Amino acid sequence: MKSCLIVDDSKVVRMVARKILEALNFRIEEAENGQDALRACLQEMPDAILLDWNMPVMTGIEFLQELRRTAGGEAPVVVFCTTENDMRHIQEAIGAGANEYIMKPFDSEIIESKFAQAGLL
């Protein structure tokens, strides 16, 4: 069973994403900002990370840059999932090492399709 860390400051989004990903057979961990997520990754690197952009304490892009600099941090497949839906943000995310990018709002089909493309299914 693959693991996925869901990073989003919205409890509702985390809950919806958890339901979708559990149905796709992922073991779920949650974090509500980048710093929590980093702490979780240092304990155990997940196979996948579903990552919001705008969060208090540490944003998604700051977390990703930090993660990719960390030992073992190149391994997790990172899928951004954010309301930032312009080309500049998408390119910045890819430049920082994101593997896929979901523009909110999302549904189960989009998550499934993106996770499949990222080789997670």
Query: What is the pattern of x (binds other proteins, CB under 8 A) and - over residues 25-64?
Result: ----------------------------------------
The continuous run of DSSP H or E covering 56 comes out as: none
Residue 78: what residue type? V
What is d(CA 71, CA 110) in angstroms, rounded to the nearest whole number? 31
For position 110 contacting other proteins by CB under 8 A, the verdict is yes
Region near other proteins per CB under 8 A, out of 37-45, 49-57, 66-74, 92-100: 92-100
| From 10, 25, 70, 91, residue interacting with other proteins (rule: CB under 8 A) | 91
| From 53, 63, 101, 115, residue interacting with other proteins (rule: CB under 8 A) | 101
Cis peptide before 105 (omega within 30 of 0): yes
DSSP-derived letter for residue 50 is: E
For position 114 contacting other proteins by CB under 8 A, the verdict is yes
What is d(CA 70, CA 74) in angstroms, rounded to the nearest whole number? 8
Region near other proteins per CB under 8 A, out of 6-14, 17-25, 56-64, 102-110: 102-110
Region near other proteins per CB under 8 A, out of 4-12, 17-25, 33-41, 86-94: 86-94
* Cβ atoms 33, 58 nearer than 8 A: yes
DSSP-derived letter for residue 74 is: T
